[in-house]
Amino acid sequence: MAPRIMLAVDGSFVSANTAEKLYVINVNECGRTHRIQNWETQRWVVLRGGQVVAEVVNGQGGWSLSRVVDLDSDGRNEVLVTGGMTGQGALVMSAWLISLEPRSFTTIKDFGSIYEGNCANLSGDPKEETYSIVHAQVCPGSPPEFTLEEKKGRCR
């Protein structure tokens, strides 16, 4: 194994209004068969004052942290993650809004597929893409409400 830190971001992930740092670490296991597709294991570790307060293993890998925000004003940051797959000129990306607990993720919202496109395919098929714009309505003390606006068009 040759772990590497992919990202470090400040926030309040486990305890409200507390200075914490989230590290996303790719484990880089030897012999992992789908490493080329970015499916390697990730460890998400939260430190507070140099002490580990949360450690979660994401065996799916391939997640990217896209945004950190406190949507419900409870003093804890939610995390928007994205992941995708590509093959033969097509790309599919999905998104999830999650919260971190000491030993697990909680999925607040699974947005499903937010982008699909075949813009790089070499066949004669029409090159098209579909993407979603996520709108959030936020009222402090209430869970956020989400709507997805889907757009379709030719590849740019």
pLDDT of residue 85: 83
pLDDT of residue 39: 61
Residue that the structure tokens 């450690």 belong to:
55
Closest CA to 22 of 101, 97, 93, 83: 101
Write out the chain's pLDDT in tens, 156 residues.
788 898 999 999 999 999 999 999 988 776 555 544 556 788 999 999 999 999 998 876 678 889 999 988 889 999 999 988 888 888 899 999 999 999 999 999 999 999 999 888 887 777 888 989 888 888 877 778 899 899 998 887
Give the CB-side neighbour count of residue 61, counting CA atoms within 13 A.
Answer: 18
pLDDT of residue 35: 46
Tell the burial category of 77 from Cβ atoms under 10 Å away from its Cβ (0-12, 13-18, 19+): buried
